[in-house]
Amino acid sequence: MTGLIFDIRRFSVHDGPGIRTTVFMKGCPLSCWWCHNPESKLPACETFEESRMFDGQEFRQMRTIGKEMPVAEVMEEIEKDLVFMNESGGGVTFSGGEPLFQPQFLEEALRECRRKDIHTTLDTSGYASRETIERILPYTSLFLYDIKHMDDELHKRYMNQSNSPILENLRFISERGGQVIIRFPVVEKINDHRENLDQLSLFLKSLPNPVKEIDLLPYHRIGSGKYAKFGKENLLGSMPNYPKERLQEIGDFFKGQGFAVKTGG
Residues that bind ligand SF4 (CB under 6 A): 28, 30-32, 35, 37, 40-41, 96-98, 125
Question: Between residues 40 and 141, which has the closer beta carbon with respect to ligand SF4?
Answer: 40
Report H helices in the chain.
71-79, 82-88, 103-115, 130-136, 152-159, 164-175, 194-205, 224-229, 244-256
Considering the complex, what minimum distance in angstroms separates the CB of residue 96 from ligand SF4? 5
The CA distance from 1 to 4, in Å, is: 10
Is 35:223 a contact under the CB 8 Å cutoff?
A: yes
Is 8:81 a contact under the CB 8 Å cutoff?
A: no
Question: Between residues 25 and 110, which has the closer beta carbon with respect to ligand SF4?
Answer: 25
Question: Between residues 82 and 167, which has the closer beta carbon with respect to ligand SF4?
Answer: 167
Question: Between residues 75 and 142, which has the closer beta carbon with respect to ligand SF4?
Answer: 142
Considering the complex, what minimum distance in angstroms separates the CB of residue 262 from ligand SF4? 19
Considering the complex, what minimum distance in angstroms separates the CB of residue 245 from ligand SF4? 25
Question: Between residues 81 and 146, which has the closer beta carbon with respect to ligand SF4?
Answer: 146
- Sequence-separated (6 or more) residues with CB below 8 Å from residue 17: 88, 89, 90, 91, 119, 121, 142
Considering the complex, what minimum distance in angstroms separates the CB of residue 254 from ligand SF4? 21
Angle between helices 103-115 and 71-79 (to 10 degrees): 40
Considering the complex, what minimum distance in angstroms separates the CB of residue 37 from ligand SF4? 6
